[in-house]
Chains A and B, each alone.
Chain A
Amino acid sequence: MPTIEIDDKVIEVKAGSTIIEAADSMGIPIPRFCYHKKLSVAANCRMCLVQVEKMGKPLPACATPVTDGMKVFTRSQFAVKAQKSVMEFLLINHPLDCPICDQGGECELQDIAVGYGASGSRYTEEKRVVLNKNIGPLISTDMTRCIQCTRCVRFLKEVGGMMELGMVGRGEHAEITAYVDKSVDSELSGNIIDLCPVGALTSKPFRYSARTWELIRRHSIAPHDGLGSPIEMHVKGNTVMRVLPREDEAINECWISDRDRYSYEALNSADRLTTPMIKDNGVWVETDWQSALEFAATRLNDIARNNPQDIGVLVSPNSTMEEAYLAKKLAQGLGCGNVDHRLRQSDFRLDSKHIGTVWMGCNISDVQSMERVLVIGSNLRNEHPLLTHRLRKAVKAGAELSLLNPIDDDPLMPVAHKTICAPDAMVNALAQILKAMSVMPRYAGHLSPAVSNLIDKVKVQSGPQSSAQAIAESLSGSSASVDLVAPRAAVLLGNIAVHHPRYAEIYSLGEAIAELCGASFGVLSEAANSVGADFAQVLPNADAMNARTMLESPRKGYLLVNVEPELDCHNAHLAAKAMAEAECVVALTVFKSEALRDADVLLPIAPFSETSGTFMNMEGRVQTFSAAVKPLGECRPAWKVLRVLGNVLNIPGFDFDSSEQVSREIFGGEDPSQLASNRLNNHLYDSGVRDAARVNDETPNILQRIGEISLYQADALVRRAAPLQKTKYAVPLAAYMHHAQLAQLGFQAGGAVTVSQGNGSVSLMAQIDDHVPIGCIRIAAALKETAALGDMFGPLEIKAVEIKAA
C-alpha cells in the first residue's frame, strides 16, 4: 500500500484512492463542491486544488490518485493561492442574496467562501442571470445560484437510475435543466437538495418557513417501508418543519426516499384528530379522554363477556413494536386471539409452518454485493424506493437481476431475465424455474422426493414468454457474461408476492429454489414494523382469526390501531362492510378519516413524531426513537392509550410507565439484537405447502385485477402528504390494460368503464399500459375511489359504460 504525506502527516492508503479520500480519512479538510463520496468524480469545480511536491501546477485532490511517496500540501502558500483564485471565480456569477436564501446558514459555498475566499470582491461587471425552472412540487430552484458542480445531475443518473437533469449550453451559458418542460420525477429526488452545495435547489414545501439555526434536530426513524431509514426531524416550536437523512452506511448510506422526506407534511394536516370523539346517535361529538376510554372499554367488555372471539384487533404494520405488542396483550387480556397486523396479506396457509420470524434473509448492505438476484412479485421502485438503489449498485457491479412479476414496470436498471405473467400464472412460473434448476446436473437428486413429486409434471416452457431456464441458470451461476461456480445469490419476495392470493406457494417455491442453489432467501417487508410486529407475536392465536377471516366473518367489535380499514386491508369492500355491520368499532387513530365513518369512538393517538417507540426493520435491526415534538392537542402516544385502556378494563400487567418498559417486556430483558438473530428464520416446517394440483395450473381464462399500492398511498401518513400527492409519480387512477387487451374488449382508451368485483363496482377510465400482461387489469388499491372493489388480486368484470342517447 502506498504511503503518502499530507501536510507533514504520514499515512498508508489503499492503492487507487485519491488524495481527497486520504485526507478525509485523516481528518484534514480540503474544500470541495463537486466531489461527493457516493458519486462519480467530475472534477469540474476545481475547489479542491492542492500542492503536490514536484508538480508544477496545483492538482485537484478529488481526481488525483495517490502514488507512493507523494507529498501533498493543502495549506501551503501555493495551494492557498489556487484555492483563493478558484473561490473568486466561483463567486463571480453567484448572487449575493444570502439573506433571502433558504440555504443561508447551511451553505457550503458560504462556509468555504469564509474559510478560503477573499474578504472582498474585485468583480464589478454584470453577473449572469439564469431563468428558474419548475421541476416539480418537491424542489424549488433558483438557478442563478448554481455553480455547475453537477452533483444533482450525477445523483439522478447514478443513484436515481434515470438522468433527469443535465447541463445544457457551454461555458458562460451552461445551465442545469430538465429536458424542455419535464419535471424531476425520481422517487429519490429530494436528495439533490441535500447534495446541492448552494441554494440552487431547496425544498419547496419547506421554503421560507424557517432558518436553519432556529431548528432543533431530533433523531427518528422513517415510518414507511421496511428499510427504516434513520432520519433527523428539524423542529421549530412544536412543529416538525422538515426531515433530513442521518447517515448510516448499513441502512440508508446518506440518502432517504422522498416518501420518508416529505411525509412529515401530513403531521400538521387539517385531518389530524386532536380530541377524542364518540358517535352519539350517528353524530360525532367531542368528548374527554375519561369518557371516551370508559365508553370504549365498556363496549369492548360487553362484547368480550359474551364471547371474546367476537372481537377483532387490527394493528397497522407501521405501528411501533410497543403499540402492536400492547394491542395483542389487551386482546389476550380480553380472552380474544383475533389479532393481526398483516392487513394486506390474503393467504395465510403458511401460518403454522413458519419456524421463526420472517425477514429479508440477509443484511441490507449485502444486497449490493449480490451477484445473482431473483425478485419475485415486487414493483421495486414503488415498494422499496431506496433499497432498489442497492440493487442498482449490484447490477452496476455486474450482478444479474431477474424478475418474476405481474407488471413490467422499469426498475431503472438493466434486467437480465424476466418473466412477466398474470398473477395467477406466477406460481407455475416459479415451479418452472425450480424444475429447470432441479434437472441441472449439479443439482440432480438434491430435491427432496416430496418436492420432486410436486414439480414432476411441470413443463419448463421455452420461448420469448418464459425465462424460467435462463433465470435458473443465472441463479446457479452460469451466464452469458460471467460464469460463477458459487455466486452470491438472493431470492427476494416483494409486496406483491406477500399480497398474492397464493403467497403460500410462492413462498414455498421461492424457498425451495433458494435452498437448491444456495441463495439467501427472504421477504422485503412492506412496512416499517412488519418484522417487529411478527417478532412480537402480534399474530392470531393458533385457532383464531387472521386479518382476512376477521373481515370475512364480521366480528361484533373491532379495535383498530392506526388502521383505515378500506385503505389498509387487502379487500376494501369486505373491510368496509365488516366495519359497517359491527356493533362497536374502537379506533385509535392519528387522523380523522372517511374510512372510519362507521367507528363508534375515535381515540386520537400520536404519530411517530410525537411518541417514543421501536421499529424492527427488514434486516431485523431494532431501532428505538423518542418523540421529536409534543403530541398535538389532546393526542396521546398509542402505547399510553392502550395501557390506560388495559387499566380501565382491569387487565393485569398493564402498569407501564414508559415505552422502554414495554419494549423490555417484549424482549424479556434480553439484548434485542441477540434475540432477533436467534428468532429470525425463514425456513418452514415440512417445507410448507405442497399442493401439487395447483402448481401445474394452466392460467384460467378470466380477467384478473392487479391491485397494487402506489408509493404515495401506502399508509395513512403519506396519503395526506400534499406535496407528494402532487408529484408525477402519483399516477392518476384508471383501469390500465395492455393495448391488445383494450382492443380485444372493444374499449377506447379514455372511455368510461365499469369494473366490478363481487358486489362492488366503480366507474373508471380505461387506459393503455403495455406493462400489464394480457388477461389483467391494473387498478390501484388503497384509494377511496376503488374502495368499493374487493381483492387486490382476483377476478373482476369490466364493461364499457353505455352512453345513453338523450
Chain B
Amino acid sequence: MLSAESIAKIDRELAKYPANQRRSAVMSSLAIVQDEHGWLSKESISDVAAYLGIPDIAVLEVASFYNMYELKPTGKYKLTVCTNISCMLRDAHGIVEHLEHRLGIHCGETTADGKFTLKEGECMGACGSAPLLLVNNKDMREFLTNEKVDEMLEGLK
C-alpha cells in the first residue's frame, strides 16, 4: 500500500504530465516510494505500477535499470562511492578501501548492525569535486580524504 504522503507526492509529479501519460511519472514515483521505505520491495513496485496503471514488469524494468534504486533493503546509511574515471584518477579506490576497512564490509554489503551499506556508483556528474560519495542518494560529500571519511562516519549516527 502506498502511504497517503507518497500518493500526495506522486500526484504532484503526475500533474506535470498529460493525464493519459501517467507512466511518465514512473521514475519520480519510484524515488518517492524509496525515500519512504529505504528500498523498493516487489510490493512497492506493484503498488507503483497499479497506481500509475502500467504493467508491473514495466516498472521493474526501470527500477532494475538505474543504480540508485535499491531492490534489496539497505542499511540506514547507503554510501555510494563514485569509481568512474575522474574519481578513480583522484584515488576513489583508496576511499573505497578505507571505507571497507572502517566498516568491515565489502562493496555491495551491509554492516551487521544494519547501519551502513557500501556501494560503488557511476559518475554523478560532479567530477570537479572528485573523489566523492553520496549518502542515501541525496547528500553529496566531496573532495574526500580518509580523514573526511572518518569525520563523516562520526557524524552519521
Contacts and interface: CB of A to CB of B under 8 A. Distances in A.
B21 interface: no
Contacts of B57: 163-166, 168, 177-179, 182
Given A162-B55, A179-B55, A167 B42 contact: no
A178 B65 CA distance: 15
A169 interface: yes
Contacts of B56: 179-180, 182
B42 to A, nearest CB: 5
A798 B65 CA distance: 51
Contact of A169 (B42, B46, B55, B64): B64
A179 B60 contact: yes
B123 interface: no
A170 interface: yes
Contact of A166 (B42, B46, B58): B58
A180 B58 contact: no
A221 to B, nearest CB: 34
Interface in B24-74: 42, 46, 54-58, 60-61, 64-65
A188 to B, nearest CB: 16
Contacts of B55: 162-164, 166, 179
A180 B60 CA distance: 9
Contacts of B42: 180
A165 to B, nearest CB: 7
A164 B49 CA distance: 13
A728 to B, nearest CB: 15
Identify whether the interface residues of A are mostly helix, strand, loop, or mixed: loop
A168 B58 contact: no
A656 B67 CA distance: 73
Interface residues of A, number: 14
Nearest to B20: A414
A178 B57 CA distance: 7
Contacts of A168: 57, 60-61, 64-65
B64 A170 contact: yes
Contacts of B54: 163
Interface string A150-165: 0000000000001111
Interface residues of B, number: 11
Contacts of A166: 55, 57-58, 60-61
Contacts of B46: 179
Interface in B67-113: none
A209 B116 CA distance: 53
Contact of B58 (A163, A170, A177, A182): A163
A179 B58 CA distance: 9
A75 B41 CA distance: 50
A167 to B, nearest CB: 6
Contacts of A182: 56-57
Contacts of A180: 42, 56, 60
Contacts of B64: 168-170
B94 to A, nearest CB: 26
A483 to B, nearest CB: 19
Contacts of A169: 64-65
A80 B54 CA distance: 41
Nearest to B49: A179
A166 B60 CA distance: 8
A165 B46 CA distance: 15
A767 to B, nearest CB: 21
A169 B64 CA distance: 5
B115 to A, nearest CB: 27
A182 B57 CA distance: 10
Contacts of A163: 54-55, 57-58
A169 to B, nearest CB: 5
Interface string A419-442: 000000000000000000000000
A251 to B, nearest CB: 29
Interface in A169-187: 169-170, 177-180, 182
A165 B58 CA distance: 8
A167 B55 CA distance: 13
A182 B46 CA distance: 12
B102 to A, nearest CB: 29
A180 B65 CA distance: 16
A179 B64 CA distance: 12
B96 to A, nearest CB: 21
B129 to A, nearest CB: 26
Contacts of A165: 57
A180 B42 CA distance: 8
A169 B57 CA distance: 12
Contacts of A177: 57
A166 B58 CA distance: 6
A177 B64 CA distance: 12
A160 to B, nearest CB: 11
A720 B64 CA distance: 41
Nearest to B61: A166
Q: Which of B56, B57, B60 has the most CB of A within 10 A?
A: B57
B69 to A, nearest CB: 11
A518 B46 CA distance: 45
Contact of B65 (A162, A164, A170): A170
B92 to A, nearest CB: 20
Interface string A573-614: 000000000000000000000000000000000000000000
A748 B107 CA distance: 52
A65 to B, nearest CB: 26
A51 B60 CA distance: 37
Nearest to A167: B61
Contacts of B65: 168-170
A481 to B, nearest CB: 11
Contacts of B58: 163, 166
Contacts of A178: 57
B124 to A, nearest CB: 17
Nearest to A168: B64
A180 B57 CA distance: 8
A180 B63 CA distance: 13
A168 B66 CA distance: 10
Contacts of A164: 55, 57
Contacts of A162: 55
Contacts of A179: 46, 55-57, 60
B61 to A, nearest CB: 4
A28 to B, nearest CB: 35
A162 B55 CA distance: 8
Nearest to A171: B65
Interface string A707-749: 0000000000000000000000000000000000000000000
A744 B148 CA distance: 67
Nearest to A166: B57
A179 B55 CA distance: 9
A179 B45 CA distance: 10
17 contacts: A162-B55, A163-B54, A163-B57, A165-B57, A166-B55, A166-B57, A166-B60, A168-B57, A168-B60, A169-B65, A178-B57, A179-B46, A179-B55, A179-B56, A179-B60, A180-B60, A182-B56
9 interchain residue pairs of minimum CB distance: A166-B57, A168-B64, A163-B55, A179-B56, A179-B57, A166-B61, A170-B65, A169-B64, A180-B42
Interface of B: 42, 46, 54-58, 60-61, 64-65
Interface of A: 162-170, 177-180, 182
Given A164-B57, A182-B56, 6 more contacts: A163-B55, A163-B58, A169-B64, A169-B65, A178-B57, A179-B46
